[in-house]
Amino acid sequence: MNSTSGSEVIMSVKDIKIFFELEHYHHKGIRDVFVSAMSHPFEFLMKQKELFYVINGVSLNITQGMRLGILGTNGSGKTTLCRSLAGMMQPQLGSISTVKEVRAIFDTGTGVVPELTGRENAYLLARLFFPAKKDLKGIVEEAIEFSELGHFIDIPFNQYSKGMQSRLLLPLVTSIPSDILILDEVFDAADIFFQNKFAGRMKTFIASSSATIFVSHSIDQIRQVCNHLIVLHKGKIHFEGSVEEGYQEYLKLNPSSEVLDRSPFGPGT
């Protein structure tokens, strides 16, 4: 293996596949199903459903201390891979085994009950993130302090700008160290001053977690955080190794010709 070989494996991914029947995607509602069953009854019942593989055989070992970056074009399966590593999705084939606690964040632009204030949302989110923690006051108040939101903290969360939302959420999710941390394109909203302030906190946090999995389209961010990289392409690992080599491999992929027409969602998903 690569630079991290020899370390203790804390998460082991063995040949996982995630797929679904493409047929569902032509039906937006029960009415569509009804209409197509009535107008083409034979086809509706007999037509072979086409399988679409979002993840098509990925094997991966996450070792102690690994800061894994994931690069890939839109629709290459990055988010789906992260969701399965986080345990939100269960691969139909293959296995993922870990004994560690996994925390995963895919977006920072959302509150639990947006009608409530930022502070109330912070407490709720903390409860959802840290179910085992008895007393949340210390960590939530510290995160609020760090966010520098001032009196904005007591106005409804749905009046926050995207940047303000991530100012509140980023310190909150990094308030307790986690074993494995998954961050999927979460750094883009906050302003440059906060990003710089947050970078220091992030370094400490990453240092105290056993492993970090980091998805970004910004190679600079990946260079800052990661010591290992995979390039995902068409649901498979196209490259695994060092950050710089991986970036060169990534640039060789030409997304315009084949990737986008393969995705049933269109670009950007």
Among residues 29 and 150, whose Cβ is nearest to another protein? Answer: 29
| Secondary structure class of 103 (helix, strand, coil) | strand
When the beta carbons of 128 and 192 are compared against another protein, the nearer one is: 128
* Separation CA 14–CA 57 (nearest Å): 8
Closer residue to another protein, CB minimum distance, 124 or 243: 124
Which phi and psi angles does 154 have, rounded to 5°? -105, 20
Distances (CA, A) of 20 to 46, 85, 231, 238, 251: 18, 18, 23, 22, 29
Closest approach, Cβ 251 to another protein, in A, equals 28
* Whether the Cβ atoms of residue 16 and residue 53 lie closer than 8 Å to each other: no
Joined tokens for residue 95: 């296995």
Instruction: Kindly tell me which of 182 and 253 has the beta carbon lying closer to another protein.
Output: 182
Close Cβ partners of 220 (under 8 Å, ≥ 6 residues apart) = none
Q: Which is nearer to another protein, 114 or 248 (CB)?
A: 114
- Distance CA(189)–CA(187), nearest Å, equals 6
Please identify, using beta-carbon distances, which residue of 30 and 192 lies nearer to another protein: 30
Tokens at 239, concatenated: 């490259």
| Smallest gap from residue 269 Cβ to another protein (A) | 8
By CB under 8 A, name the binding residues for another protein: 18, 20, 24, 27-33, 54, 80, 83, 86-92, 102-113, 115-116, 120, 124-125, 127-129, 131-132, 265
Q: How far is the CB of 128 from another protein (least distance, A)?
A: 5
Nearer to another protein, 103 or 233 (CB): 103
- Distance, CA of 159 to CA of 92 (rounded, Å): 40
Calpha distance 118→191 (Å, rounded): 18
Residue 140 Cβ vs another protein, minimum distance, rounded to whole Å: 13
Q: Identify the residue whose tokens are 């986008």.
A: 260
Shortest distance in whole angstroms from residue 36 CB to another protein: 12
Structure-token pair, residue 29: 């509602």
Is the Cβ of residue 172 or residue 230 nearer to another protein in the bound state?
172
Q: Is the Cα dihedral 215, 139, 207, 129 positive or negative?
A: negative
In whole angstroms, the minimum distance from the beta carbon of 206 to another protein comes to 18
Q: How far is the CB of 80 from another protein (least distance, A)?
A: 8
Taking the C-alpha atoms of residue 219 and residue 215, their distance in angstroms, rounded to an integer, is 10
- Closest approach of Cβ 115 to another protein, in Å? 4
The span from the first CA to the last CA of the chain, in angstroms, equals 31
